[in-house]
């Protein structure tokens, strides 16, 4: 309750995190790679932007009914420069996970390594489901955590965002 329809994010301990990524074009898709080696558990970048109780095509869920998105009035060039996290691709074998409003390395990511996360570890329900092209899952439909089988939910347990872990007991989906 009490979350305005759109509000600037509050300051957090992650505010000083310098992004360790850059945007690359690979096989026709924009994505992020690490600009330096990042150890397991270290922050890679901050999910900053506009907070909303409802998801959008680009938003990432960071809390119960709390989604971080990009200010809609922003010119395209500024979106790319300012909100690098918008280029985080989904993978079913991700290199990073979302902890609070930070993107954190799961295992050590080498410089130039892909930075991806599993959208189904933050989103209960995707606003725009899509067929996965991560190369690990054989083209699964990515629709959100609640659509996964109990087995698939359990496999993701170590990387689940806190809000999702609390909102939906693993294995009961
Ligand atoms: Zn996949």
Is residue 152 a part of any domain in this protein? yes
Q: Which helix (H) or strand (E) holds 55?
A: none
CA neighbours within 13 Å on the CB side: how many for 128?
Answer: 6
CA 131 to ligand 1 centroid distance, Å: 8
Q: Longest Cα pair distance anywhere in the chain, in angstroms?
A: 43
| pLDDT over 60 (residue 1) | no
What are the pLDDT digits (tens) for 17-61? 889 999 999 888 899 999 999 999 999 999 999 999 999 888 999
Is residue 140 a part of any domain in this protein? yes
Mean pLDDT of 110-133: 95
Q: What is the per-residue pLDDT for 173?
A: 46
Is residue 98 a part of any domain in this protein? yes
Mean pLDDT of 60-70: 93
Cα end-to-end distance, the chain, whole Å: 25
| 3-state SS assignment for residue 140 | coil
CA 105 to ligand 1 centroid distance, Å: 18
CA 93 to ligand 1 centroid distance, Å: 7
Is residue 90 a part of any domain in this protein? yes
Is residue 74 a part of any domain in this protein? yes
- Domain with residue 29: its CATH number is 2.170.270.10
Mean pLDDT of the chain: 88
Residue ranges making up the domain that contains 142: 18-167
| 3-state SS assignment for residue 61 | strand
Is residue 143 a part of any domain in this protein? yes
| pLDDT over 60 (residue 12) | no
Is residue 7 a part of any domain in this protein? no
Q: What is the per-residue pLDDT for 3?
A: 46
Between CA 68 and CA 163 the distance in angstroms is 14
Between CA 63 and CA 105 the distance in angstroms is 20
* Residue appearing with tokens 């993107």: 103
Domain count, the chain: 1
Q: What is the per-residue pLDDT for 7?
A: 47
Mean pLDDT of 63-80: 87
CB neighbours of residue 145 within 10 Å: 26
CA 73 to ligand 1 centroid distance, Å: 32
CA 1 to ligand 1 centroid distance, Å: 34
Is residue 75 a part of any domain in this protein? yes
């Amino acid at each position: 309750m009490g979350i305005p329809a759109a509000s600037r994010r509050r300051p957090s301990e992650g505010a000083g995190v310098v992004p360790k990524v850059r945007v690359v074009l690979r096989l026709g898709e924009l994505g992020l790679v690490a600009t330096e080696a990042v150890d397991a558990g270290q922050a890679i970048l901050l999910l900053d932007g506009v907070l909303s109780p409802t998801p959008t095509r680009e938003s990432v869920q960071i809390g119960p009914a709390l989604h971080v998105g990009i200010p809609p009035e922003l010119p395209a060039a500024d979106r790319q420069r300012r909100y690098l996290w918008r280029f985080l691709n989904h993978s079913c074998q991700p290199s990073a996970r979302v902890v609070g409003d930070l993107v954190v390395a799961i295992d050590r990511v080498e410089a130039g390594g892909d930075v991806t996360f599993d959208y189904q570890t933050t989103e209960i329900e995707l606003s725009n489901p899509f067929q996965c092209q991560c190369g690990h899952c054989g083209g699964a439909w990515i629709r959100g955590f609640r659509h996964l089988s109990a087995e698939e939910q359990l496999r993701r347990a170590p990387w689940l965002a806190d809000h999702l872990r609390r909102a939906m007991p693993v294995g009961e989906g």
